[in-house]
């Protein structure tokens, strides 16, 4: 496989120089490229935060925002400045939550956010908007990366049994395509109504779907955090099973997050913050603080996209 020959060198180059502390590093992307949407033009404003959290020694989450290489969130941005960037034409956003121990989890989620955008770009022209083609490109790209993670897991002892969730949103000029594998989630707030866009692929959710347990039993079920589908599993070889394909309009607000946030902050609170905080970076920080205050025991990653009218 393409990544295996240089995998160990890449790992050392990416992580070998990390500092030993883990500050609450954040990134802000305030000015992004325009999307054309009748009757006018739209911009995307993005805020993102990813932290180790209250209990974990390392951050196994990663995210992708166009125009910027994925960065390790436990490396301090010494300048303390937030970044402003121009978005590339892919308009693809990703959150990934790694599993399989420190090295394995970090590696799997980093592979997801580095390789999926590359593979999508190979298959999807910037002006391609036909829904079937967009979905096929994303599904094939994610399936390819799943095979890369499986191959790496089997080839390198330190990465054995590694895996990662992934949730992504691909914006095109007229629509957004949302898909997920695992239990990282995506939401949309429109006209004050919060809608969950992805399904959790946990054993507890499968039991709920089968009618074996009730919705009231789900949040505290012993299998709530046991995933049957994730990147790095043979069952994910076909890529995402389900897509949400939706129109995009000014005022829409999208949230993508790892379960370190959504597992401890209720949907009603997510909607309240998304609707009540007009700056996406500030909203991401508020939600992160809520997760930590609610005693989240996992890494916390929160990526928020606001769709705004071109001024």
Quick one: pLDDT at residue 222?
Answer: 67
Burial of 213 (0-12, 13-18, 19+ CB in 10 A): middle
- Residue 168's DSSP bridge partners are 94, 179
Specify the residue for token string 């043979």: 234
Question: Is 97 inside a domain boundary?
Answer: yes
Assess if residue 136 is contained within a domain: yes
Asked whether residue 11 is assigned to any structural domain, the reply reads no
In the chain, % of residues over pLDDT 90? 55
Q: Above pLDDT 70, what percent of the chain?
A: 74
- Please state the rounded mean pLDDT for residues 227-231: 87
Q: What's the whole-number mean pLDDT along residues 238-259?
A: 95
Report if residue 25 sits inside a domain: no
pLDDT at 193 over 70: yes
Domain-located, residue 4? no
Residues 14-57: pLDDT tens digits? 443 333 333 344 444 444 555 656 556 889 999 999 999 999 98
The pLDDT of residue 174 is: 81
Q: Flag whether 259 is in a domain.
A: yes
Give yes or no for residue 10 having a pLDDT over 50.
no
Q: Which among 221, 222, 241 is positioned nearest to 231, based on CA atoms?
A: 241
Q: Total domain count for the chain?
A: 1
Q: Which domain holds residue 53?
A: 35-309
Residue 7 counted as domain residue? no
- Answer for the pair 168, 93: CB distance below 8 angstroms, yes or no: yes
CATH number at residue 87: 3.60.40.10
Q: Which residue has the tokens 């299998």?
A: 223
Q: How many CB atoms lie within 10 A of CB 297?
A: 11
Of 86-100, 133-147, 155-169, minimum mean pLDDT range? 86-100
**What's the pTM?**
0.83
Domain contains 90:
yes
């Amino acid at each position: 496989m393409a990544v295996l020959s240089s995998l160990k060198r890449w790992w050392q180059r990416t992580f070998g120089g990390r500092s030993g502390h883990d500050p609450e590093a954040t990134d802000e992307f305030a000015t992004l490229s325009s999307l054309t949407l009748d009757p006018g033009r739209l911009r995307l404003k993005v805020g993102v935060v990813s932290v180790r959290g209250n209990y974990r020694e390392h951050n196994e989450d990663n995210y992708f925002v166009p125009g910027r290489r994925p960065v390790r969130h436990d490396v301090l941005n010494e300048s303390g400045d937030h970044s402003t960037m121009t978005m590339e034409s892919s308009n693809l956003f990703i959150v990934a939550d790694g599993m399989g121990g420190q090295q394995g989890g970090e590696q799997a989620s980093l592979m997801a956010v580095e390789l999926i955008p590359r593979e999508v770009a190979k298959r999807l022209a910037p002006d391609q908007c036909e829904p079937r083609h967009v979905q096929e490109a994303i599904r094939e790209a994610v399936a390819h990366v799943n095979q890369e993670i499986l191959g790496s897991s089997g080839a390198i002892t330190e990465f054995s049994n590694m895996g990662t969730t992934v949730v992504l949103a691909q914006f095109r000029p007229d629509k957004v395509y949302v898909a997920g594998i695992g239990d990282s989630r995506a939401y949309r707030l429109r006209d004050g109504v919060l809608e969950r866009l992805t399904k959790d692929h946990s054993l507890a959710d499968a039991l709920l779907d089968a009618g074996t347990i009730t919705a009231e039993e789900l949040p505290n079920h012993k299998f709530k955090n046991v995933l049957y589908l994730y990147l790095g599993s043979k069952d994910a070889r076909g890529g995402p099973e389900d897509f949400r394909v939706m129109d995009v309009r000014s005022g829409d607000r999208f949230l993508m997050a790892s379960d370190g946030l959504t597992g401890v902050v209720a949907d009603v609170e997510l909607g309240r913050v998304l609707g009540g905080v007009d700056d996406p970076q500030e909203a991401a920080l508020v939600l992160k603080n809520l997760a930590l205050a609610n005693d989240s025991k996992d890494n916390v990653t929160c990526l928020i996209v606001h769709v705004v009218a071109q001024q």
